[in-house]
Structure 1
Amino acid sequence: MKTILIPTDFSENARRAAEYGYYLAKQMRANVLLCNAVIIPAEIPQTGFTGWLGGESELLMEDSTNELQRLKAHLELIDRTDTFRPQVGYLNDAGRVADVVNTNCAAADVALIVIGKHAASGWSGFLLANHTNALIDAAKKPLLVVPPQAPVEMVKKIAFATDFNKIGKDIKSIYELIALARPMNAEILLTHVYTEKHHSPALQLLIDQLLTELSNKADYPHIYYRALEDTTAERGLTWLCKHGQVDILAMNHGPYSFIDDILNLSHTQKMAAHLSVPLMVFQA
C-alpha cells in the first residue's frame, strides 16, 4: 500500500496540512507517515550554535516524539467516517528537513509528500531556512504544498500547467499524476497559458499528439485540455484556480521550465498568497 509522507514542524500551518494529507490518504487508500526533522545545532554548524550536550539532544528528540504522538492522535480523533481509515505512523530523525524527508521516502513506499506553507513561527526554533522552498528544489517524490486556507474536501479536479516546451518531461510527470489521481477518480486538466492570440500550428500539432498518446497509452479517461490567454502564466493560473473549480494545481519544476520565475523565492510567496488551492510540484 502506498504511503503519504507528511513532514511537520508542529506549527499551525503544518497541522492543517497534516489534516489535508490525512483526508487525501483516505481518498487514495494510502497510509500516512508523519515526519519531524529535529534540528540539533551541534550537528549542523551553519545554524550558528555549537556545544550542546547529549542530554539536550535527547530532550529535543523526546519532545519531538511527544508532539508526533499528539498529532497522530488528533488525526485519528477527527476521522468520524466509516470509510477507509489510513494507518498513521510517525518518525523523527536529526538533520535537515530535505535530507530527512528524502531518506525516508527511499525507505518507505512513499507516493506523495504533503507539507504546509512555511511559517516563521514553527515549533522548531532552529528551522532557520524556508523548508518549503528547500523541498521544492530537493524532493525526490511529488510534493504537495498546502496553503492554510485550502479546504479539506474531496479532490475532483487537478490542473497540470505546462508550456509544452519539454514534452518528454511533461509526459513523465503526467503519468505520475495519473497514478495519484486514479484512486480518487479525479479529473486531470492539462492547461496551457499563452500570451499570443492563437496557438501556432506547430504547437497545436504537439498538443494533439500528446492528447493522442495519453488516450492510447494511459488508460485513464478523465484527461482534458484547456488553453487560457493571459498576459503572464502566473495571472492565468491564478485565475484558473479561482474560477475553474480546480482543487490542486500541478506543475513541473526544473531547469529551463517556464515556471522557474514563479517558483523562485519571491514569486513563490506571491503565488501562495493568491492561491487557495494546494500546489503539486514534480521534479522535471
Structure 2
Amino acid sequence: MKRHATFLPVFVALFGLGCFSVMDGVMKAASLSVGPYGALFWRNMLGSLFMLPVYLRARRRADARGLPGRDAMKLHWLRSSVAGTMAVLFFYGVVRTPLAESIALTFIAPLIALYLAAVTLGEKVGSRAVAGSVLALGGVVVIAAGKFGGRYDAEAVKGLVALLVSAVLYAWNLVLQRRQAQVAGPEEIAFFQTFLIFLLLGIGAWWLAPLPAPVTWIELAISALLSVGSLMLLGWAYARAEAQVLVPLEYTAFIWAALVGWIGFGEALTLRTLGGVVLIVAGCLIALQRSAPSEMEMV
C-alpha cells in the first residue's frame, strides 16, 4: 500500500470535518431563529434540491438505473434515522449551551465508535489507536475543565443531557458511515441521507418548522451546501480507510469550533484551549501510526 493511500483519505476527512464545524456555527444562528427542528427540516430540503442533480449525474456516469439495492437502502434509512435524531438533539443542546462546550461533549463518541467498529465491522483496534484516542480525549478534558464550572439553569441542563444522548447516537452514526461507504458512492450517500432526513422530519414540520425569514434562508442555504459537501468528502474518505484510522480525527473538530467561535462570535483562544489542542493533535498522530508488521509490509 502506498503511503498516499492512507494520507489522502485523512486529508479529505479533515477537510470534511472542517466543513461540518463551520456548518454547526451557521446552524446555531438558524436554530435561534426557527428552532433546531425547523432549521434541520429546511436545511435538508435545500440540501436535497442541491444534491439531486449531482446524484443523477453520478448515476448516469455509472450507467445505473432505478433505486440502489435493498441492502444499501436499508443502510440509508437506518443511518438517516440515527443521524436525524442525533442532529435534532445536538442543535437542541447547541442553542442552550456555548458552541465550544457542545463540541467538547461530542468527543465521547469516537471512543465509543472505536469499540463499536470492532464489534460490528470486525476491525481490530490497535493499541496505538486506543492510546491516541485517550490522549486526545485528555486534551478535550483540559479544554472543557475551564468551561463546566458554575451553576446551570434548567434549560442548560436539558441541553447538556440532549448533547450526551446525541454523542452516543453519533458514535453509532460513525460506524454506520463506514458500512454505508462500502456499498454506496459519496453522491448517493449525501443525497439519500439528506433527502430521507427531510422526509422523516416532515412528519412534524407543520407544527415545528415555521417559515424562515430571508436572512435565515441564506444561513440555511450555506449550511446545506456545507453539509452535503462534508457528507460526500467523508463518504469518500471512509470508503478508503478504516474507521479506527479516521474516527480519531473527529477530535480535530474542536480546533475548527474554536476558530469558528473566535471569528464568528468573538470567543478568545485561551492558553488552556491551545494546550488541549496540542494534546488532541498529538493523540491523532499517534492513533494514525500503524504498528502491526502486517499492516506496514506493503508501505
| Shorter-chain TM-score above 0.5 | no
TM (norm. structure 1) is 0.26
TM (norm. structure 2) is 0.25
Query: Quick check: which one's helix share is greater?
Result: 2
Query: Quick check: which one's strand share is greater?
Result: 1
